[in-house]
Amino acid sequence: MPVVTGLKKQGANDGAALSFMIATPETGVDSIAVSWAMLDPVMTVFRPVAGFITAVSTGIVQNFFGTQELERSAPMGALLPMAPEGADAAGSHAHASADASRISSLPRRIIDGMRYAYGNLLNDIQQPFLFGILLAGLITFFFPEDFTLWTNEYPLVAMLIMLGVGIPMYVCATASTPIAAALILKGLNPGAALVFLLAGPATNAATMAVVKKLFNTRALLIYLGMITVCSLGMGLLVDLIYSTLNINAQVVVGQASALIPQSVMLGSAVLLAGLMAANWVKHTRLRRTQTAH
C-alpha cells in the first residue's frame, strides 16, 4: 500500500495504481515458487497470466469509467533543480565513478541480495506460509476424500462459493496456495481453486478499506467487479484447459516435487526450517530490544 500511495503522488493514474495492487501478489516470485511446488505446471503458468490480465483489465476500466482525482503532486522532473551550465562534464565523470562503484560492489550486492532473500523476505512470508500449511493440513486430515467432488458437476457454483469465501478471508498469495492445493486434493475443480487464488489476496476486507480510502467508492466497485468477472472467466478458462488436455488436477497437484531427489527435498526442508527459526529468534530479540528502549 505505501508503494501505491507513492505511485499516486508521483502522478500515476488510478488505473495504473489499481493494476499494480492486483498484479503484485499474483506475479511475485514467492507466489510463483510456491505454486510450482504445491500445485502443477499448468496452474503455475496460468496463475500469474490470469493475474496480469485481471490487473490490466481493471486498470483500463478504471481509466475509462472511474473518476480521477484532480489534485496531483508535481511530477518528479518538476521537483528537480536545473543543472547549471558546464555541469555535463562533471556529470559524466560522476556517472563513470558511479558505474565503477557499481561494478566493484557486485559481490557486496549479491551478498545483500542473499541476506534480503533469506532474511527480510523470508521473515515476511514465513508466518502466512506456515498458516497456510497448517490450514491445508487440517483440510487434508479432517475432510473426506470426496468432499468437493460435486464441484465437477457444478463448477460455476463452486467458483461463486470460493469467491464468497475469499472476499472476507484475510489471506495472502503465499498462504492461499497450500489451501488451494489441499482443496484440489479433496476434489475441488481447478477453476474454483484459481478463483480463490485470485480473489482471496486481492479482495480481503483490509484491502478493500484501503482502496476506498485511497481512491473512492466508484474505484472500489470497479475493483471488486472486475476481479469478480475476470476471476470467474479465468476459472472457466482454466477448467476448459484441464478438460481439453485431459489432466486430472487431483492427481497432478503437488507432483512437481517428483522431479527433485528425496535427499534434496529433505535437506531443503531442514534448511528452510532452520532459516525460519533463525529469523524468528532474530526478530524476537530485535523487538524485545526496541521495547526495552
Say which residues have a Cβ less than 8 Å from residue 57's Cβ, sequence separation at least 6: 226, 230
Residue 236: is its pLDDT beyond 60? yes
* 36-56 exposure pattern, b = at least 16 Cβ within 10 A, e = fewer: bbbbbebbbebbbebbebbbb
pLDDT of residue 90: 46
Quote the percentage of the chain above a pLDDT of 70: 72
**pLDDT tens, position by position, 152-163:** 778 888 888 888
Q: Is the dihedral of CA 52, 204, 169, 133 positive or negative?
A: positive
pTM reported for the whole predicted model: 0.70
Residue 211, H or E segment: helix 205-214
State CA 246 to chain mean position distance: 28
* Cβ(163)–Cβ(231) below 8 Å: yes
Alpha-carbon distance of 195 to 177, in angstroms, equals: 12
For 259, phi then psi, to 5°, come to -80, -15
Residue 11: is its pLDDT beyond 50? yes
pLDDT of residue 57: 93
Q: Which residue has the cell 483440510?
A: 139
What average pLDDT does the segment 226-248 reach? 91
What average pLDDT does the segment 114-125 reach? 72
Residue 290 CB coordination number (10 Å): 8
Residue 65 CB coordination number (10 Å): 12
Q: Which of 75-79, 84-88, 189-193, 272-276 has the largest mean confidence?
A: 189-193
DSSP state of 32: H
Alpha helix positions (H), 10-121: 14-27, 29-38, 41-65, 76-79, 87-104, 106-115
Measured in residues, the chain has a length of 293
Say which residues have a Cβ less than 8 Å from residue 78's Cβ, sequence separation at least 6: none
Alpha helix positions (H), 116-255: 122-142, 155-166, 173-185, 190-202, 205-214, 217-244, 249-252
Q: Which residue has the cell 489499481?
A: 18
For 74, phi then psi, to 5°, come to -65, 145
